[in-house]
Amino acid sequence: MSEKAVEEMSFEEAMAALEGVVGQLERGDVPLDQSITLYERGAELKKRCEAKLKEAEEKVHAITLGEGGQPTGTKPVEGL
pLDDT value of position 1? 39
Which helix (H) or strand (E) segment holds residue 73: the answer is: strand 71-74
CATH number at residue 20: 1.10.287.1040
DSSP secondary structure string, 16-69?
Answer: HHHHHHHHHHHHT-S-HHHHHHHHHHHHHHHHHHHHHHHHHHHHHHTEEE-TTS
In a domain, 80, yes or no: no
The pTM is what? 0.77
In a domain, 31, yes or no: yes
pLDDT value of position 66? 72
Q: What is the pLDDT of residues 17-46, one digit of tens each?
A: 999 999 999 999 999 999 999 999 999 999
Number of domains in the chain: 1
Evaluate if residue 77 carries a pLDDT over 70.
no
Range of the domain at 34: 6-74
In a domain, 1, yes or no: no
